[in-house]
Amino acid sequence: RKEVEQDPGPFNVPEGATVAFNCTYSNSASQSFFWYRQDCRKEPKLLMSVYSSGNEDGRFTAQLNRASQYISLLIRDSKLSDSATYLCVVNDDNQGGKLIFGQGTELSVKP
């Protein structure tokens, strides 16, 4: 079983649509959770951390369900500039531990 699993997409949506990405992770002892964004041939950039209580940053909402080992990202009112690959990332050790990346979900927002 993959450590972090995501639907690779691509998700093709019109501007203004709401789109949701899901991710599952295999290690129930995982400590921290993130969504990163990666543009083509660029470095991953942190979009947001994910907490059990859920968190929102503008049009982006992230949720964590520890019991189901499931992480989600919701993007509302999608913009052309949201087109990118969204990486689900898990850290098993908060003491400077490595990040474990999912394959990424590709999003393409069309006019």
Partner 1 sequence: EPEVTQTPSHQVTQMGQEVILRCVPISNHLYFYWYRQILGQKVEFLVSFYNNEISEKSEIFDDQFSVERPDGSNFTLKIRSTKLEDSAMYFCASTGQSQETQYFGPGTRLLVL
Interface residue list for partner 1 (CB under 8 A)? 32, 34, 38, 41-46, 49, 87, 94-104
Please say which residue, 74 or 99, places its beta carbon nearer to partner 1: 99
100: nearest Cα among 27, 38, 17: 27
Phi and psi, residue 35, nearest 5°: -115, 125
A 10 A CB-CB count for 104 gives 23
Nearer to partner 1, 15 or 57 (CB): 57
Q: Which helix (H) or strand (E) holds 64?
A: strand 60-65
Cβ nearer to partner 1, comparing 1 with 41: 41
Instruction: Work out how close the CB of 90 gets to partner 1 at its nearest, in angstroms, rounded to a whole number.
Output: 11
Tell me if 47 sits within 8 A of 59, measured CB to CB: no
d(CA 97, CA 93): 5
Closer to partner 1 by Cβ: residue 24 or 49: 49
Shortest Å, Cβ 17 to partner 1 = 26
Shortest CB 87 distance to partner 1, Å:
7
Q: How far is the CB of 76 from partner 1 (least distance, A)?
A: 24
